[in-house]
Amino acid sequence: MTEAKKSPLKRFLAWFGKQTVLWSGLIIGIPVLLAALWIGVLIWVWDTPTINEQFQDPDNANLNRSEKGALLAEAITYQFRRRLNEQGGWVPNDLIIFFERNAACAAGIKGEPGGIWYVTTEIFEVFADRTARTGGSSQDDPRLTNAAKKFNYDPRRWGISWLGGADSEHEYALGFEDFDSYVNDLRAGQAVSNVRPDDLAALLTELGGQNGAMDKIYSRLNDAAKVPPEERRQRVYSAICASAVSADTLAAIRSAYGPDFDQDALVGLDEAIQELYRVSQLYPPIVLNGADDSLWLVNHARNIAAMMSATFDPILDTARSLPGGEVAR
């Protein structure tokens, strides 16, 4: 039957049926499209601590003193620079509050230390204070001193820098200008890198020792069961990214200065590095607090704390194997 010969009622029902299919498609399709878009945005901005295999290259042991110092400096700041330059910039400038994992990883939230910022600044202060002395008075290289000050700027401050606003991203960029100047001169033979065994011991103690950078992250993670779920999530995310900074630093120390260590101590250090890198690649979108022997649930905070704590003794044993490292605790 042609359309013209159909009754008005049948033509209306046919038209209405087509509209129903159309609207049904829109009702189903729009939410699916929005969900796909949301997942895409989430993946794009989800902070991912990447592993730079350059820091683990055994050939680093063949570098000269200055090149080793430059490699170590870059390893300490690698995750910090990555987070500053990728995914739209530093957390205060993202202005997307619901991506709390990014904030917990980098700048921290409501008093919780950001894993990347906190561990980087603590290690970098030791590096700047001990390993780049110049002149007969053994003064610190002023560029590293200034970079350390800039890096220590409040990570959660946001403002419009060219209007005089307090902007942490701007301060960190200024710090990296001095940092890059030092590293470039170092590779050109125009700056000093004097990384002695006791300096390496100090860096290792800062990472694995009591009251060191990682110990603070670990302690808060170990006490996560005592805080509300929101804070527990933030502590887990902070620990994941803190582990990446520690692993990069340890990998550069191991690969570049390995011959300085007792070989037996390096076995444990290698395991610690791989374990910290393993922690750095964990991505629980939902942080659970299940029983330890649960089949379906896990206690993310406790499990990650256990993985981190297992690396502390090997790190300290490696420090103690160095001259001047006997005080590591």
Measuring CA to CA, how many Å separate 280 from each of 62, 140, 248, 297? 28, 32, 10, 20
Per-residue confidence (pLDDT) for residue 289, from 0 to 100: 79
- Do 288 and 177 contact (CB within 8 A), yes or no? no
**Helix, strand, coil in percent for the chain, rounding step 5:** 70, 0, 30
Share of the chain above pLDDT 70, in %: 78
Nearest to 299 by CA among 241, 223, 199: 223
Whole-model pTM: value is 0.84
Rounded to an integer, the average pLDDT of 128-148 is 77
180 token code pair: 């890059």
Residue 151, pLDDT above cutoff 90: yes
254: left (phi over 0), alpha (psi -120 to 50) or beta: alpha
Residue-by-residue DSSP string for 198-254:
HHHHHHHHHHHSTTSHHHHHHHHHHTGGGS-HHHHHHHHHHHHHHHHHHHHHHHHHH
Task: Tell me the pLDDT tens digit for each residue of 188-203.
Answer: 989 888 888 889 999 9
Per-residue confidence (pLDDT) for residue 322, from 0 to 100: 86
Tell me the pLDDT band of 296, cut-offs 50, 70 and 90.
Answer: low
Query: DSSP state, 174?
Result: H
Per-residue confidence (pLDDT) for residue 325, from 0 to 100: 63
Per-residue confidence (pLDDT) for residue 18, from 0 to 100: 60
CB contact set of 245 (below 8 Å; sequence gap of 6+): 76, 78, 79, 80, 115, 116, 119, 120, 123
CB contact set of 192 (below 8 Å; sequence gap of 6+): 132, 133, 134, 141, 186
Per-residue confidence (pLDDT) for residue 43, from 0 to 100: 59
Tell me the pLDDT band of 257, cut-offs 50, 70 and 90.
Answer: very high
Per-residue confidence (pLDDT) for residue 109, from 0 to 100: 82
Nearest to 325 by CA among 194, 208, 247: 208
Q: Which residue has the higher pLDDT, 121 or 20?
A: 121
185 token code pair: 């001169």
Residue 93, pLDDT above cutoff 90: no
Per-residue confidence (pLDDT) for residue 55, from 0 to 100: 97
Q: Please, how many CA atoms are within 13 Å of residue 271, restricted to the half-sphere of its CB?
A: 13
Nearest to 69 by CA among 116, 118, 128: 128
Per-residue confidence (pLDDT) for residue 252, from 0 to 100: 97
d(CA 156, CA 94): 11
- Do 173 and 84 contact (CB within 8 A), yes or no? yes
